[in-house]
């Protein structure tokens, strides 16, 4: 197989990472005992005024431009939320999605990765978790230099879908000082060993949420949850029955619940 044909095949196979599956009612499979949000909380959430995210480009030395969405309250700094796309995804879409999901309350920052090919515009991937780590570190430095007034100076959250979750779980264990909590959607459920979980806890990590649209993901996430708990981390597992490999629809609703009601970060 030639390099060109391999690239085309890779693009076709990975493009499914953007697709969403039809879902039924979400089935909660949590490892905590907190209640669902009350009807009053849900009503308050729906009453929030409409808001459109404004995506900004952020130059990152030695990497492609990252994407930033500032908090909706422009004069109020927001906590950090780094959101990494799946293979075949792109940062504009993910930044828009996660900023809407969190209703503009966060400073959302999305790494670009590398283009799958020059002829496949708008689709990116991360070659490995070491490359993702280097890009995220450079991106955080650039964001803190350019948007210091809009970003709270405290550890935030790393969210990833598919490849962004899988490689993020490997990368984040050394960066608990930046990301006290992880939200890993349809990925990052089989990378955990006790040593890695302990390392994440030692560097400042507190919480890990594993959100799945497939039964295979959920089974492995429950196994990983036991490892994470042994390391002293707070863990929550969500299974959205019938949703499939997606971070949209009911899967996104459960991710929003994690941000709103778990909560991810103690004291917020």
Question: Over the stretch 173-203, which tens digit does the pLDDT of each residue have?
Answer: 999 999 999 999 999 888 899 999 999 999 9
Please, which pLDDT band fits residue 67 given cuts at 50, 70 and 90? very high
Tell me the pLDDT of the chain averaged across its residues. 82
Q: Give pLDDT tens digits for 109-143.
A: 999 999 988 766 679 999 999 999 999 999 999 99
Sheet holding 234-239, edge to edge: 27-28, 234-239, 207-212, 179-185, 156-161, 80-84, 107-110, 66-69, 55-58
Instruction: Spell out the CATH class of 51-261.
Output: alpha beta
pLDDT at 241: 79
Domain extents in the chain: 51-261
* Mean pLDDT, residues 74-93 taken together: 93
Please tell me the pTM assigned to this model.
0.81
Kindly state the tokens that stand for 244.
């499939």
Judged against a pLDDT cut of 80, whether residue 161 lies above it is answered with yes
Judged against a pLDDT cut of 50, whether residue 66 lies above it is answered with yes
What is residue 67's DSSP assignment? E
CA 84/CA 178 separation, integer angstroms: 15
């Amino acid at each position: 197989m030639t390099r060109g044909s391999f690239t085309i095949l890779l693009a076709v196979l990975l493009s499914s990472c953007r697709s969403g599956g039809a879902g039924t009612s979400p089935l909660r499979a949590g490892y905590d005992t907190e209640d669902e949000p009350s009807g009053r909380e849900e009503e308050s959430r729906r009453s929030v005024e409409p808001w459109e995210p404004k995506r900004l480009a952020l130059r990152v030395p030695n990497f492609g431009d990252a994407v930033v969405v500032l908090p909706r309250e422009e004069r109020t700094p927001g906590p950090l939320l780094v959101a990494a796309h799946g293979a075949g995804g792109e940062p504009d879409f993910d930044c828009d999605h996660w900023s809407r999901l969190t209703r503009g309350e966060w400073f959302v920052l999305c790494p670009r990765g590398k283009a799958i090919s020059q002829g496949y515009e708008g689709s990116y991937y991360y070659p490995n978790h070491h490359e993702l780590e280097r890009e995220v570190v450079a991106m955080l430095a650039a964001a803190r230099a350019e948007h210091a007034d809009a970003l709270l100076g405290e550890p935030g959250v790393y969210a990833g879908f598919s490849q962004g979750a899988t490689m993020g779980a490997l990368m984040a264990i050394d960066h608990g000082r930046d990301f006290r909590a992880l939200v890993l959607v349809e990925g990052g459920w089989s990378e955990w060993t006790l040593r890695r979980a302990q390392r994440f806890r030692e560097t400042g990590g507190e919480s890990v949420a594993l959100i799945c649209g497939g039964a295979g993901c959920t089974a492995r996430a429950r196994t990983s949850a036991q490892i994470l708990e042994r390391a002293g981390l707070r863990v929550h597992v969500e299974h959205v029955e019938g949703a499939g490999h997606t971070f949209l629809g009911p899967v996104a609703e459960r991710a929003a619940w994690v941000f709103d009601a778990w909560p991810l970060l103690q004291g917020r």
